[in-house]
Homo-oligomer: A and B are copies of this chain.
């Protein structure tokens, strides 16, 4: 093994999750304990902090506060959506990164993000290699969308899925207790893949699920949708729909972005997203129903209070594994999850390493056979997949019955070299 000594940078990118900080904690604690790593730096707002040399010294943090990161939502180091150019076209950003790496003697770079971030990692890795700056670059997966390629599931997904399943169960109870007609439409995040929306099927499994579930994996047809809703409403006086924000028609146009057309019921300016739009259309069709749109919005990706212990644990492991693998000599890879079973046949998650190039820019979707033939509900095969992932209550700490989230000092690190 080639021992490489130097500082490491850990950064977070893209939309946060309920457990992205658990991954960062896994990486930080492992790095702080690794003799090869001389200093553990946190990038302020992801790659932007690296470009600007704005790095926090994670060794200066109170270990007790750090520990709270395991159950603190959002990206504690800050995040960004900055997209770096292709280095072959414009290497400016990459040269800046190299400058920061040299100034802080950075030999390890860990980037915690989704699809785009794995691509960024891959490009940085190649650039550093070409530049002759020895450096190991590892991606750490996260996304509530669960659409990363090559991994059984993604850290962050299960906690969001648990939030959706639980909230749908609670709303189902609420929306069905009146004696009057009611249609309720819940809009779930996931622009291209329906994993999170499908989590509503867990509510069905637990006895209080929606009547209809629409994923972006199946083309959405407004007339069929209205007929589906009407059929259930006419039979029961209620209808609970869970729909992905990313549903689109057969030509690929997002329903949420459908143009105003006063003839087809789409006739209103879009203020409140897809659920509100669908609610408006249903209102025009079923006059006797009270129609309500619910968009949990950010709540679904930051609800640490309802997180999955399994998810938090696996997220931590992903961060830990990335650091351990890099220290052991790996680079240009991402830890991923492989589903296995223990001796008693129970779910077990095993870690593996994937080359970043095999992950970046691919999207994993819900298999068509896990969606029913009519395209308006989800099959038991999905429940079998998702149920083990949401197990275990959150370990979120509380003080006076309110969340006690980590409070970091965020002390800026000084460069060690010129």
Also in contact, A297 and B305, with CB within 8 A (given A207-B407, A405-B169): no
Interface presence of A75 (CB below 8 A): yes
- Shortest A264–chain B CB gap in Å is 16
Q: Are B390 and A401 in contact (CB under 8 A)?
A: yes
Q: Binary interface profile of A, 220-252, with partner B (CB < 8 Å = 1, else 0)?
A: 000000000000000000000000000000000
Interface presence of A269 (CB below 8 A): yes
Interface presence of A299 (CB below 8 A): yes
The closest CB in chain B to the CB of A170 belongs to B302
Interface presence of A304 (CB below 8 A): yes
Interface presence of A375 (CB below 8 A): no
Q: Which residues from chain B contact A162 at a C-beta distance below 8 Å?
A: 401-402
Interface presence of A91 (CB below 8 A): no
> Which residue in B177, B269, B404 is a CB contact (below 8 Å) of A78?
B177
Q: Binary interface profile of A, 361-403, with partner B (CB < 8 Å = 1, else 0)?
A: 0000000000000000000000000010011110000111111
- Shortest A410–chain B CB gap in Å is 12
**A85 to B402 alpha-carbon distance, docked (Å):** 44
A residues neighboring B (CB under 8 Å): 12, 16, 44-45, 48, 72-76, 78-81, 162, 165-167, 169-171, 173-180, 184, 202-203, 205-208, 268-273, 276-277, 279-280, 292-299, 301-306, 308, 387, 390-393, 398-405, 407
Q: List 10 A-B contacts (CB under 8 A).
A: A76-B177, A78-B177, A80-B180, A171-B302, A184-B298, A206-B402, A207-B407, A271-B277, A272-B295, A392-B401
